[in-house]
Chains A and B, each alone.
Chain A
Amino acid sequence: MNHIISGAMLPDGTITDLFVADGVLVDEAPSGAQTIDAQGLVVLPGLVDMHTHLREPGREDAETVESGTLAAARGGFTAVCAMANTQPVTDTAEKAEHILDLGEQAGHAQVVPIGAISEGLKGERLAELALMHRSRANVRMFSDDGMCLMDAQLMRRALEWVKPFGGLIAQHSQDSQLAGPGACCHESEISGRLGLGGWPPVAEAVIVARDVMLAEATGSRVHVCHISTAEGVDVVRWAKRRGIQVTAEVTPHHLLLGTELLEGYDTTFKVNPPLRTSEHREAIREALIDGTIDVVGTDHAPHAPQDKDHAFVDARPGMLGLEQALAVVMEVAGEELGWGGIADRMSVAPARIAGIAGQGRPLAPGEPANLVLVDPSARAVVDKRESASLSRNNPYDGLDLPDPVRLTMYRGRITHQR
């Protein structure tokens, strides 16, 4: 199907018609095209999520590649990077290719497998990083997300090993002694009062500091997943000024939601790293705006009820994010970032950092037709039941937020429209 998208506004403010033929943007109206009226809508390059948990293989009751990528399409994403902490862990070329194939079969968005840094996420020995890279999956990004790679020597080796092919090591920055298994609440008056294990900001900052020094020492690239603290941001800012190849990511939930939501022990709000105070939220918001933080990554983490309906400390951490990510970014930093800034943090920069060809590209003839049409003014109250995800751990349920995504197009096909 060919398309004419008429009257859409580009991120730079110009209003234009876009022509789509055979999955590619072209410079004149194709024959037999269906016209999409985009008057009053903004067109952005399809969003790219560097941080998605699709749960398949292993926990198909919580999410599948099919359901997760449908949720992605509803959120305006045309590419998602699938985290490696599935069952089994994505730590070999074959497993990475399997995920790639599942994504192609589903067809709702490009699924980019992330490889584990260490075998089985155990933090003991390196996974077959280069073989994963050389496979059909062409893995460029590696992460033990969910676990921090605590062994500094192993971290150094990983950085060295991926350097020849420009691989990226993405770290879940959490010192496992300063923030151990029981740490589930931002360390503050609230954690003390609620009797929940404190997760101090310094547990993030010390790992970020160590890793940027290792990145500098090895000349390799490191990426900080879900940065959540003012201290962590300060270290990244310092490292960037020093010329270290570091990039950082922030989640929508850390931008919008605060630790006070834990008062009722609702495990929907249990996430790792934990929701923090307004000072930290303000610091990461500023850092996203000034570019210290490069990208928004959702850390979309679906969980089945039986994994959440426990005492707070026993419940799995994580919350949904794909469907409301753009809404949250518009809400907290839309004005400051502008459409160009949003396109950069949510599409251009993640595609560049993760090395995903054909995503985050300019909306120009010859480029793949990966795009999203955005209503800049619509709002709606989030209803967690209305979701393509198989899970319902949506922290935004009941909040009045922007309701921007009108149409998502992936390789010229409409993957979501309403």
Chain B
Amino acid sequence: MKHLTSINDLSRDDALSILEMAREMHDVQRRPVKKLPALRGRTVVNLFFEDSTRTRSSFEIAAKWLSADAINVSAKGSSVSKGESLRDTVRTLDSMGIDAIVMRHPGSGAAQQVRGWVDASVVNAGDGTHEHPTQALLDAYTMGIDVEGKVVSITGDLAHSRVVRSNVLLLQKLGARVVLVAPHTLLPAGVDAWPAEVTTDFDAVLPDVDVCMMLRVQRERMAGGYFPSEREYTALYGLTARRLAKLKPTAVIAHPGPMNRGLEISSAAADDHRSIVLDQVSGGVAVRMSVLYHLLAGNE
């Protein structure tokens, strides 16, 4: 395993190996000395073309706790307008002899393109509306890794979500049953071909789900006509207090954040005892440590 730009880069065993080692890394996180020497001498560059404090800092901490040198490069603003191509940007970094590029880019497929241009390992920290594989690993980790046979609903702006694509691929590998819930305007083209069930009726699926994952809906989508108003969206697809009552007592509520409280998720749901939203944050460093370890610790 050299790169992680899509969940498709992982076999089921790879995914399980990453998730299980994340548990060990999580243990390390709880002890006084958090540093492991495993990646001493390695250099990891966080190349972020889009702001994301949470993802960037969790990768940075992960690299540092594995004793790698972590360098943050903010490349915000279009490189197109600066006259430098993406290829030149990454090849310049690569020629400095770094070991990995952790990349966030607003363009779908950017991480996959970069793989072909550099010698370093490439980790996709989110590319446009395509994938966000470490977030999916984190979500599966938070669900307890063993999701075989569990019913996972994912509700929200699926058309513009990179989280949903990675999650569907990973959950399928791990044997979960995925149900996608969104209005037609927010469903990706060709979603019927995905390894998931698709419905526009949130209420109908609630009693069956083991994991109820809510995705962020951007208010700006209203301008594009994707939905008429917040009130109408919440009425149809929000995890309201009323819908919360329909969930099984054993079900858990997930949200990869950042949450729009009152829009896709009510405070009652976000703060419910079944909510694993905060666990989704705390496992982030451990999962990313495990990913970096799997990509970088092996033979060159």
Residues in A whose Cβ lies below 8 Å from that of B79: 310
The 5 sampled A-B contact pairs (Cβ below 8 Å) are A198-B189, A306-B84, A310-B85, A311-B105, A314-B107
**B107 adjacent to A189 (CB under 8 Å):** no
**A313 adjacent to B191 (CB under 8 Å):** no
**A305 adjacent to B85 (CB under 8 Å):** yes
**B106 adjacent to A195 (CB under 8 Å):** no
**B113 adjacent to A265 (CB under 8 Å):** yes
**B128 adjacent to A313 (CB under 8 Å):** yes
User: Which residue of B108, B130, B165, B189 is within 8 Å of A187 (Cβ)?
Assistant: B189
Interface string of B155-168 (1 = CB under 8 A from A): 00001001001000
- Whether B193 is near chain A, meaning CB under 8 Å from some CB there, is yes
User: Which residue of A195, A267, A305, A307 is within 8 Å of B130 (Cβ)?
Assistant: A195
User: Which residue of A190, A193, A311 is within 8 Å of B106 (Cβ)?
Assistant: A311
Residues in A whose Cβ lies below 8 Å from that of B130: 194-196
Residues in B whose Cβ lies below 8 Å from that of A190: 190
- Whether A410 is near chain B, meaning CB under 8 Å from some CB there, is no
**B193 adjacent to A194 (CB under 8 Å):** no
Interface string of B187-224 (1 = CB under 8 A from A): 01111011000000000000000000000000000000
Q: Contacts A311-B105, A311-B110, A314-B80 hold; do A193 and B188 have CB atoms under 8 A apart? A: yes
| Interface positions of B (Cβ within 8 A of A) | 78-80, 83-88, 105-110, 112-113, 127-131, 159, 162, 165, 188-191, 193-194
User: Which residue of B86, B131, B165, B193 is within 8 Å of A311 (Cβ)?
Assistant: B86
Beta-carbon nearest neighbor of A316 in chain B: B80
Residues in B whose Cβ lies below 8 Å from that of A191: 189-190
In this complex, the member of B87, B112, B188, B189 whose beta carbon has the largest number of chain A beta carbons within 10 angstroms is B189
Residues in A whose Cβ lies below 8 Å from that of B162: 195
| Interface positions of A (Cβ within 8 A of B) | 187-196, 198, 264-265, 267, 305-314
Beta-carbon nearest neighbor of A266 in chain B: B113
**B193 adjacent to A310 (CB under 8 Å):** no
Q: Whole-angstrom distance between the alpha carbons of A106 and B32 in the complex?
A: 75
Residues in B whose Cβ lies below 8 Å from that of A267: 113
Q: Contacts A195-B130, A195-B131 hold; do A313 and B107 have CB atoms under 8 A apart? A: yes
Residues in B whose Cβ lies below 8 Å from that of A307: 85
Residues in A whose Cβ lies below 8 Å from that of B131: 195
In this complex, the member of B83, B108, B131 whose beta carbon has the largest number of chain A beta carbons within 10 angstroms is B108
Residues in B whose Cβ lies below 8 Å from that of A308: 85
**A193 adjacent to B109 (CB under 8 Å):** no
Min C-beta distance of A393 to chain B, whole Å = 13
**B189 adjacent to A192 (CB under 8 Å):** yes
Q: Whole-angstrom distance between the alpha carbons of A189 and B190 in the complex?
A: 4
Residues in B whose Cβ lies below 8 Å from that of A195: 108-109, 127-131, 162, 165, 188
Q: Contacts A195-B128, A195-B162, A305-B85 hold; do A312 and B113 have CB atoms under 8 A apart? A: yes
Q: Whole-angstrom distance between the alpha carbons of A188 and B193 in the complex?
A: 10
Residues in B whose Cβ lies below 8 Å from that of A313: 106-108, 128
**B190 adjacent to A309 (CB under 8 Å):** no
Q: Whole-angstrom distance between the alpha carbons of A1 and B148 in the complex?
A: 80
